[in-house]
Amino acid sequence: MTRLRLTGIDKAFGATQALRGVSLAVAAGEVHALIGENGAGKSTLMKVLSGVVRPDAGTMELDGAPYLPSDTLAARRHGVAMIYQELSLAPHLSAWENIVLGSEPHRLGWLDKKEARARARGALARLAHGHLDLDRAAGEFSIAEQQVIEIARALLAEPRVLIMDEPTSSLTQADTERLFAVVRQLRAEGVSVIYISHFLEEVRQVADRFTVLKDGQTVGSGELAAVSQAEIVRLMVGREVRKLYPARTGRPGAVVLTLRAPSGPALELRAGEILGVAGLIGAGRTELLRAVFGLDKSALYVTTPARRWAEGVGFLSENRKEEGLMLPLSVAENTTLTKFSALARGGWLRTGGIEAVTADWIGRLGIKTRGPKQAVGELSGGNQQKVALARLLQHPAKILLLDEPTRGIDVGSKAQIYALIAQLAAEGRAVVLVSSYLPELFGLCDRIAVMRRGALVECRDRAAWTEPELMTVAVGAAA
């Protein structure tokens, strides 16, 4: 039975045609993967589905009845709920308050707390998370638990279609497994799940069918089991991505930096080397980079970001929206921020100068933007990340500390960023790459170090690791 059917959906924003005759069919009790590069139109399609924007043309049917929500609330009432990539909980409210928010049981405005808590408990129990403390403030839960709370909230509305946008982008392996169990549970209950993700391996584990979007059009759909990974990638990028990871050449030079965690061996970073840092979320990888860069106080490093920049050390934050970039400011300002004084004359910033420098980098990194003056916040995630990288590169930093440089960006952009990192190493720069995505560490690094509970545990040449071995060290299980 078809739960949701979209036919010939068009949507234009000004001169940009975001969707062109898109069709999508999702059965009841099916997990349907929606795949596509950033800018392919996935977000717009989901906005159409969840009532944020109205399509210009086309029809939508929900269980055979016409469906055209006027806003997100109307969509929810029809049973179409969305779990956003950026979690949307009220951090100060308790777990149960978040779950019943907007549909609180009450008598004449007087909150029925007993009933509310019972409903919250019931929804969490359906997700096998009945053990969570209902009275704790939502902001104090782990990211994975917050996500479960958000899904529980959506469940209260008895959704027919649940849309999940990149739900695992900030989860550890174990939490991802748990989330999959939740998704499978929902499927068993007959809920249709639209699952958006860049992680193709992951999509295969959880989804039944897929639809690929490219440039606002549906370019393929079918059973996941019937197609190979390479075919999906070909559909996505419209070309064969033969090799996601570039070949590495050159050999490491002199020691340029020593990495020290509060405990464990010190690691020497050499020019021309890419050193990977693996570990679970919360293992202290980000803290290590931040201490090295002087962002957080540390007994091991006495320095400041300004001094580090002057020494030629660059840092790419994992949190590009809140820390890495200034979203309302232009591409040019974001790119050249660290070199304002070099680009100014007597304190007078020459706009033309910084825009010319930036235009050069836009070309080199293939940043999709209307120009240096466009606000960074208007770009897609992958292009935002390229702007953040452009800042590091134009500086030019000799040592690059990269924290999750490919989080939440599409395969095409990933391949470009990998190529860029490899090229930088070939030019003799030293790179520290923190990543939760093992294939990219194995694909790119010369050596991989593992952190666990704040300590650097072990470091080996890439060839001396296997993925299972590395995971064993990361979780601290006996080998």
Partner 1 sequence: MKKLLSKFGPFLGLVLVIGLFSLSGEIRDYFLSYANFKIILTQTVIVAIGALGMTLIIVSGGIDLSVGSVIALCSVVGALLIQQAWPLVAVVLTVIACGGLVGLLNGGAIAVLRVTPFIITLGMLGIARGVAKWLANNETVNYDASPLNGWMTTADPFGWALPAGAWVALGLAVITAVMLRHTVFGRHIFALGSNEATARLCGVATTRTKVLIYALAGCFFGLAGLMQLSRLRQGDPTVAVGVELDIIAAVIIGGASLNGGVGTVLGSMIGALIMAVLRNGSQQMGWPTYFQEIIIGAVIIAAVFLDRLRQAKRE
Q: Which residues make up the interface to partner 1 (CB under 8 A)? A: 72-73, 76, 88-93, 97-98, 101-104, 106, 109-111, 113, 140, 153
Choose between 142 and 258: whose C-beta lies nearer to partner 1: 142
Enumerate residues 6+ apart whose C-beta is below 8 A from 175: 142, 143, 144, 168
Q: Which is nearer to partner 1, 64 or 91 (by Cβ)? A: 91
Which residues are within 8 A (CB) of 274 and not within 5 positions of it... i.e. 6 or more apart? 248, 421, 422, 425, 431, 433, 444, 445, 446
274-278 and 447-452 beta bridge pairing: parallel
Q: Residue 361 Cβ, how far from partner 1 at the closest point, in Å?
A: 33
Whole-angstrom Cα distance, residue 377 to residue 215?
Answer: 20
Minimal distance, residue 112 CB to partner 1, in Å: 9
As given in the structure block, the two tokens for residue 20 are: 């062109």
Q: What is the closest distance, in whole angstroms, from the C-beta atom of residue 109 to partner 1 in the complex? A: 5
Nearer to partner 1, 19 or 89 (CB): 89
Q: CA nearest 249: which of 434, 448, 428, 464?
A: 428
In the complex with partner 1, the residue whose CB is nearer, 37 or 145, is: 145
Indicate the Cα dihedral angle 38, 42, 46, 47, nearest 10°. Answer: 60
Amino acid in position 49: L
Provide, rounded to whole angstroms, the least separation between the CB of residue 88 and partner 1: 4
Nearer to partner 1, 90 or 254 (CB): 90
Residue labelled with tokens 């549970």: 185
Please say which residue, 88 or 466, places its beta carbon nearer to partner 1.
Answer: 88
Rounded to the nearest 5°, which phi and psi values hold at 424?
-65, -40
d(CA 83, CA 233): 25
Judged on CB neighbours under 10 Å (0-12, 13-18, 19+), 238 is: exposed
Minimum CB distance to partner 1, residue 80 (Å): 13
Nearer to partner 1 by Cβ, of 160 and 429: the residue is 160
Residue 268 is classified by DSSP as E
Write down the least CB distance from residue 138 to partner 1, Å. Answer: 8
The CB-of-323 to partner 1 minimum distance in angstroms stands at 16
